[in-house]
Structure 1
């Protein structure tokens, strides 16, 4: 079974898992899941009962959901490239710490802002929630700037799967315009470095439905219906 990543559009956090797969360079397929329509459908909930992306169908036909779990799974084949580390090592602990922060504090800082875009609200309530979200996003950026240190990557001198996950979330600032990333020079430099990365450019093209040339591992798209037919336990 060639793995299938179910990724959400538009602008899902699954972007980071696409980047990670490209960095790894091993064969994989993608299944495009429109949000909120398809991701909340009964068909997709057969993949993930929570109705969220990303989810990964593994080589041995297991389904893994949640970015942190998926990236840790992918990391087992990324140790030789320095993208991840063996469990029990200091590097593994540092990577897990960074991924956990990104998956909780950084990701969730944007939640109030997404809510204001996706729901009808009274103006005063909307502004209050937007102000709250803006403060959270600024706080998370400030904390990440301190964690980054001298960089150039989140864990120091080499890129890891944490950087792949970071870029998928960091781009959300363009939707909300509540922080000026230039205020955080380390993060701005990291953001620009990642945006120039071929795998990140590939992931952008994939999301936009454009022709995309990857590093060689991408074997094409699979419809949700086709993917469901390939999973023997569903």
Structure 2
């Protein structure tokens, strides 16, 4: 069985895992999960009971959810490509620290804004959520700008899986006009560099349902029904 990533659209944080799989270069398939309809349905919950994306079904049938867990799983096989670091090394600790910040601070900062947008908040509730979210997003950008400094990539002179995760979240500013990334020149520089990356362009095309040119090991898409049938046969 080929490892398969179940990714959420539109604009799920699973974008970073698609980029990571492209950079890794191993064979993989994708399974498109519409949010919120399919991701919260009974069929998808057979794969992920929490009803969230992404989920990676490995080549041996195990299921891994949560972006950090998936990226660490892929990273263990991407050490020779400089995408991650061996456990017990300073690089491993720095990568986990950066992934944790991106998950608990950068990602989470957008939470109030997504809630206001997706739940139709109005009036004072919407104003309060947007003000709170704007403050959190601004602080997360300012903190990450300091952490990046003058480095080419988040961890230094070469890209890692942290950069893949960053680009999937950083693009959310187009939905929530609360910061101008140009106020953070280091992050803008990193964002522009990643947007020009062939694997990032591939992930954008995949999400939009457009013809996509893989430079990795992409072997096509599979439906959720087909994946569930394959899982049942393998059980």
Q: For each residue in 1:133-175, what CA deviation from the matched residue of structure 2 results, as whole angstroms up to 9, or x when unmatched?
A: 0000000000000110111100010100000000000000000
Supply the distance in 2 between the matched residues of 1:141 and 1:161 (Cα, whole angstroms).
19
Structure 2: segments with no counterpart, 5+ residues = none
TM-score of the pair, normalised by structure 1: 0.98
Residue correspondence of structure 1 range 61-140 to structure 2 within 5 A: 61-140=61-140
Supply the distance in 2 between the matched residues of 1:151 and 1:166 (Cα, whole angstroms).
15
Supply the distance in 2 between the matched residues of 1:223 and 1:139 (Cα, whole angstroms).
39
Residue correspondence of structure 1 range 188-207 to structure 2 within 5 A: 188-207=188-207
1:196 shift after superposition: 0.3
Q: SS in structure 2 opposite 1:205?
A: helix
Aligned to 1:158: 158
Aligned to 2:9: 9
Aligned to 2:30: 30
1:216 shift after superposition: 3.9
1:97 shift after superposition: 0.5
Structure 1: segments with no counterpart, 5+ residues = none
Supply the distance in 2 between the matched residues of 1:16 and 1:122 (Cα, whole angstroms).
32
Supply the distance in 2 between the matched residues of 1:145 and 1:108 (Cα, whole angstroms).
17
Q: For each residue in 1:11-37, what CA deviation from the matched residue of structure 2 results, as whole angstroms up to 9, or x when unmatched?
A: 000000000000011100000000000
Aligned to 1:56: 56
Count of aligned pairs: 234
Supply the distance in 2 between the matched residues of 1:174 and 1:121 (Cα, whole angstroms).
19
8 Å Cα contact 2:24-2:216 kept in structure 1: no
Supply the distance in 2 between the matched residues of 1:100 and 1:224 (Cα, whole angstroms).
30
TM-score of the pair, normalised by structure 2: 0.98
8 Å Cα contact 2:23-2:216 kept in structure 1: no
Aligned to 1:184: 184
| Runs of 4+ off more than 2 Å | none
1:118 shift after superposition: 0.6
Q: SS in structure 1 opposite 2:30?
A: strand
